[in-house]
A = this chain, B = another copy of it.
Amino acid sequence: MAVKKTKPAASTEAAPEPAGRVDLGLLDGLLGYRLRRAQLAVFQDFMTAMKDYDLRPAQFSVLAIIEANPGLKQSRVSEALGINRANFVALLDELEQRKLARRAAAAGDRRSNALYLTPKGESFLKEAYRHLLQQHERRIEAVLGSADKHLLLSLLDRLTAL
């Protein structure tokens, strides 16, 4: 496997050299690696589209799950998204501080909170989603085309069932 040498970096120029010039070696043959690169690129595009909303993918996910399942327990929301408990608590604290979501006592379970969007959270999420469709999803469709996008979705779903 060839080592693609890059230029020695000029000491004052801290500009990162493009990742493409590093030889990927064995990684290139692994589907998981290629999947991860694509996912990172799509999340980066998501964040660009959501810059004015100050919303990361994980935050959007939590708002969307709460909207679709009002009153769902905190533990079930974090499970559904595969976010660990510590990260989830911090994430929810921030959404509460921004008055987008709120915790309430869950019926019959003192140790767990039920989650709801605030009215502000509801309209914020709707607006952010509309913006996402117009910017982010539209860019993806421009790159893939509608038919290939649907093809990709069905291939991804087969992997999710792995």
- Residue numbers of A with Cβ under 8 A of B are 1-4, 6, 8, 11, 13, 15-20, 22-27, 29-46, 57, 61, 64-65, 67-73, 76-77, 79-82, 108-109, 125, 129, 132-133, 136-137, 139-140, 143-144, 148-149, 151-162
Q: Is the CB of A72 within 8 A of B22?
A: yes
Q: Which residues of B contact A162 (CB under 8 A)?
A: 41-42, 44-45, 139-140, 143
Q: Which residues of B contact A1 (CB under 8 A)?
A: 67-68, 72-73, 76
Knowing A13-B154, A42-B32, A140-B31, the reply to whether A19 touches B159 (Cβ < 8 A) is no
In the bound complex, CA of A155 to CA of B82 (Å): 25
| Least Cβ–Cβ distance between A136 and chain B, in angstroms | 8
A17–B78 CA distance with the chains assembled, in angstroms: 12
- Listed from nearest, the 7 A-B pairs whose CB atoms lie closest are A25-B68, A22-B80, A38-B156, A23-B68, A19-B80, A38-B159, A26-B64
Name 13 interchain pairs, CB-CB below 8 A, sorted by A: A2-B71, A15-B161, A17-B76, A20-B76, A20-B79, A23-B65, A25-B67, A27-B64, A31-B152, A35-B38, A41-B160, A45-B162, A143-B158
The contact of A161 among B16, B36, B65, by CB within 8 Å, is: B16
Q: Give Cα distance in the complex from A20 to B73, angstroms.
A: 13
Complex Cα–Cα for A53 and B108 (A)? 44
B156 lies within 8 A of A37 (CB): yes
